[in-house]
Each structure stands twice: as structure tokens, then as C-alpha cells.
Amino acid sequence: MLQDESQVLPQKAKLMEQLNSLKREDEMLYNILAIDIWALAKTMDEYQPGFWSLFMKNREQALKRFLDEMIKAKPADTKRPPFLR
């Protein structure tokens, strides 16, 4: 049995409202985490000068290793053009 449009539209609106709410909550959580990380780095920099720069250098090296491992583990797909492999 098909639902008439008068029932579908409120359900769609409710679903869109829930999705928008989740997006706002996700953005708020992201901002809270950014503030927490900044506070941690600021505090550690006070106790150990240069902490943040060392942390970022280690993070960069870890990211490069991760990307290298991902590239090695990626299966070769010969059907794709070389610039998309």
C-alpha cells in the first residue's frame, strides 16, 4: 500500500531535521576536540618547550609511513589509467 504525500512529507522533514542535528553535533564535537588538543599542546609546551613542534614532526613521519603502507597494500588495477592508480 502506498502512503499518500501528506504522510511522506512530515517523515522526510523529520528525517532531515535529525540529519541536520547530527551534523551540528558532529561539528560541535570536532570543535571541542580541537580545543582539547590545543589545551594539551599548550600545557605540554609550558612544561617541555618544543613539545608541539616535535609532536607535529612525529605526526608527519607517521602519516608518511601510513601512506606508504597504504600504497604498497593497494591492489594494482590495470583497467584504470595510470594517473588514477
pLDDT of 18-70, one tens digit each? 999 999 999 999 999 999 988 998 899 899 999 888 988 999 999 999 999 98
Residue 15 belongs to domain spanning: 8-76
This prediction has a pTM of 0.51
Tell me whether residue 36 is in a domain: yes
Q: How many separate domains does the chain show?
A: 1
**pLDDT for 10 beyond 70:** yes
Give the separation between CA 61 and CA 64, rounded to whole angstroms: 5
Tell me whether residue 82 is in a domain: no
